[in-house]
Structure 1
Amino acid sequence: MTSTTVGIMSMQRIYNYGSSLQAYGLRRLVESVDPGAAVSYLEYRPGQTLVPSAQPSSPVLRSVAKVREYGQAKAPLIDKLRFFRHKGRYGRRYLPMLGLDDAPGSGPLSLQIIGSDEVFNCVQDNTNVGYSRDLFGQPRRGRVLASYAASFGNTTLEKVQSSGIEQSLSEDLAGFDHLSVRDRNSAELVRTLTGRTPEIHVDPVLAYPFMGEEPRIPRGRRHPRPFLIVYGYSGRLSSQENAELRRFADSCGADILSFGGLQECADRFVDCDPFELLAYFRDCIGVVTDTFHGTIFSVITGKPFCTIVRASASHGYGNEEKLGYLLDLLGLPDRRLDRVGSLGDALTEPLDRTMIETTLAEERRRTTAYLRSILADVEGTSR
């Protein structure tokens, strides 16, 4: 009997922990529903950017620009060296942990899943993605085509219309046999473009029970002293945010460890693999983040946290659309940091673990049901 062949097209080669763990989590979820499935990752080809990009067109020049940008971050020289080393070896050291060394089989797949992450974010200036029709199932690689928790990110209907891709997006999305998104903005875009109402599911890092079932997460404590985590891209915390975080850490005798990016307030930037990262989150006393997955890592490890939500109007990388919905879904709107001075209040207020676990149990049930339905569709098409 031929096994089901599944190809996941995601952001698995982006060098950050959220991209890595969501791709790995989705693979593990599919394998848990169909243990006999042969699951691999598919690569997409970047498309043309539909908005002016400040990034150089050459990959070499982009790398040089990134090094220059990181070098301007306020951090000790030793941390900058650790960070450059982290970025330089991330792909070689950590991506094989996801199974990226497994080559996809030749020929058509039983099932192609596009997602999770911002795979539908097609109107952006990132030259590593652009408007890639691969991410909308063109060309189709599987007998059954589905998305899972796909996000348009900061792409809005207005941006789609002004970019002149409304018709092609409508046609490509209409070709999906099953559509799943992860936020309200994405669901509304799909409804407007296709007339279909997609299901909304949580990110795979929430759906896959990492902390209960993932054997690669180290059991031992990774840092001897009490510590806070600051998780965000280099230099995005303001001077005021850095100063307040430093003041709070000093008041409770804690170190500050930064992950993912360089931060002025940190005692040390830590280079570790994605599974070690979750161990650090498990053992910390609190988290400050302005990222989607930093928020999720805090939730699944049950740590007090605050999330800095930034509007697109004042920041080109605004995170309001995705983070606002995520905090509302989890019943945690109070974790949104609106005043820097309230940072300490959030970090000393424990999470309602019972409420979170109840919510996650229901969302995990819905995810499993959805994946079973698309795998059942695969069986139906093979008869």
Structure 2
Amino acid sequence: MKKVGIMSMQRIANYGSFLQAYALKKLIEELDCKVEFVDYHVGRPVIIDNADSKYKFLRKIEKGLETFRFQAPFVHKLSFIRYKQSFAKKYMPLLGVSNEKNYNPTLDCLVIGSDEVFNCIQKNTNVGYSLELFGKDNKAKKLLTYAASFGNTTLEKLEKYKKADEVGELLKKFDELSVRDTNSGDIVEKLTGKTPVYNLDPVLIYDYMKCCDKIPQLKTKEKYLILYAYAGRISNSEANWISAYAKEKKLKIYAIGGIQKCADRFIDCSPFEVLAYFNNAEEVITDTFHGSIFSIITHCTFTTLIRKSMGDSYGNEEKISDLLKRLRLNERMTMKVESVKNINMREIDYVKVDELLNAYRKSAREYLQKNLEG
């Protein structure tokens, strides 16, 4: 039995990060491999935004206080803090991830991905700039990626911060490169001269709704709309519009993943229960990549709000627009929340979406089989 490691964003307290890691693990286990998650050493961010070590303690305090600055019901804020504090303890064991870090193990194969493992030009101190995410000093006989993404990192940013040559040399050492979006593919081609394979996020490839026995059946007495967005990213004007829209449609607003000013309930649940809530929802409003994916795999009516990247600030335009275009769901995107009313009135032809998904699932499994069984 081959020993395969996955280096991903598995320790991030986030439903999308958890479910993509779990899905990739299951896909590789289907190939009769023993799977373990591999950690990387967090480096100093390339973009310094008060990221000096002397500010770390203050930043932790600020992060804790940030929740109370968001406009949301006080009880939701307390629930959100408990959700964040307990996430790792409750759900990491389901991935086989413990508190003890697993650095640089000896492996038959190391798979780097999925998620934004290559998003190295950013200021997130939880990730930083780590060349281990590009395979440096690994102890694997074979090195590949699966649906890796540069996120907001562009070739221009890599060149601006003088990281293009370093990253390019490491990418050339991979046995096989798989990306999930055009921006990432373009960077790989320009830095290595190789054409990468395109694969979708594992949450779309692993058929959760048919194959996962951990998704419960939920019974709710009320009809609801899911607002799936990070806390603080829905503006006051957007929240006010969503509140009025939900009242007009006689729907409660369930906030998942982040607290929201307009929410009737904040749902603190397991990652698998998230899919159950999506499965029962009347409709979804989201501004996240995985919120869009959860809607798609549960065949839910949804609208995705697009946020443009401005300078070094973090947006979602690149990754979400690429995903939805691949599944021919371009019309579900908007930059104006008022468009939700018209977008969610239009039915989605999920028969056609599933036909596309099945083709992507086949090619993804073939990619993994070829590189892990060969």
What TM-score, normalized by structure 2, do the two folds share?
0.96
Pick aligned residue for 2:240 from 231, 239, 243: 243
Q: Distance in 2 between matches of 1:139 and 1:105?
A: 11
Pick aligned residue for 1:291 from 288, 292, 306: 288
Tell me, which stretches of 5 or more residues in structure 1 are unaligned?
A: 378-383
Q: How do 1:103-118 residues align onto structure 2 when only pairs under 5 Å count?
A: 108-118=106-116
Pick aligned residue for 1:213 from 211, 231, 245: 211
Secondary structure in structure 2 of the residue aligned to 1:293: helix
Tell whether the 8 Å contact from 1:154 to 1:321 is kept in structure 2 after alignment.
yes
Secondary structure in structure 1 of the residue aligned to 2:80: helix
Tell whether the 8 Å contact from 1:146 to 1:177 is kept in structure 2 after alignment.
yes
In the other structure, the counterpart of 2:175 is 177
Deviations 1:103-138 (A, max 9, x none): 869952001000000000011001111110110001
Q: Distance in 1 between matches of 2:352 and 2:139?
A: 40
Deviations 1:49-94 (A, max 9, x none): 1112245645543331112221111011100000001011111011
RMSD across aligned C-alpha pairs, in angstroms?
1.7
Q: How do 1:1-383 residues align onto structure 2 when only pairs under 5 Å count?
A: 3-32=1-30, 34-35=31-32, 37-55=33-51, 57=53, 59-101=56-98, 108-221=106-219, 223-313=220-310, 316-377=313-374
Secondary structure in structure 2 of the residue aligned to 1:205: helix
Secondary structure in structure 1 of the residue aligned to 2:146: strand
User: What displacement does 1:344 show?
Assistant: 1.5
Deviations 1:328-347 (A, max 9, x none): 01100100023322211222
- What amino acid is the match of 2:237? Q
Tell whether the 8 Å contact from 2:38 to 2:104 is kept in structure 1 after alignment.
no
CA gap of 1:314–1:295, structure 2 versus 1, over 3 A, is farther
Q: Distance in 2 between matches of 1:131 and 1:46?
A: 7
Tell whether the 8 Å contact from 1:149 to 1:203 is kept in structure 2 after alignment.
yes
Tell whether the 8 Å contact from 2:5 to 2:36 is kept in structure 1 after alignment.
yes
Tell whether the 8 Å contact from 2:104 to 2:138 is kept in structure 1 after alignment.
no
Q: Distance in 2 between matches of 1:23 and 1:268?
A: 27
Q: Distance in 2 between matches of 1:356 and 1:318?
A: 25
CA gap of 1:52–1:65, structure 2 versus 1, over 3 A, is same
CA gap of 1:318–1:335, structure 2 versus 1, over 3 A, is same
Q: Distance in 2 between matches of 1:79 and 1:105?
A: 37
Tell whether the 8 Å contact from 1:190 to 1:197 is kept in structure 2 after alignment.
yes
Tell whether the 8 Å contact from 1:49 to 1:124 is kept in structure 2 after alignment.
yes
Q: Identity over aligned residues, as a percent?
A: 43
- What amino acid is the match of 1:42? V
Q: Distance in 1 between matches of 2:161 and 2:139?
A: 26
Tell whether the 8 Å contact from 1:54 to 1:125 is kept in structure 2 after alignment.
no
User: What displacement does 1:315 show?
Assistant: 8.3
Q: Distance in 1 between matches of 2:165 and 2:359?
A: 36
User: What displacement does 1:42 show?
Assistant: 0.3
- What amino acid is the match of 1:111? C
Secondary structure in structure 1 of the residue aligned to 2:344: helix
Q: Distance in 2 between matches of 1:158 and 1:254?
A: 44
Q: Distance in 2 between matches of 1:107 and 1:241?
A: 47
Tell whether the 8 Å contact from 1:56 to 1:62 is kept in structure 2 after alignment.
no
Tell me, which stretches of 5 or more residues in structure 2 are unaligned?
A: none
Tell whether the 8 Å contact from 1:40 to 1:102 is kept in structure 2 after alignment.
no
CA gap of 1:242–1:301, structure 2 versus 1, over 3 A, is same
Deviations 1:201-224 (A, max 9, x none): 000000100011100000232x32
User: What displacement does 1:102 show?
Assistant: 10
CA gap of 1:55–1:264, structure 2 versus 1, over 3 A, is farther
Secondary structure in structure 2 of the residue aligned to 1:225: coil
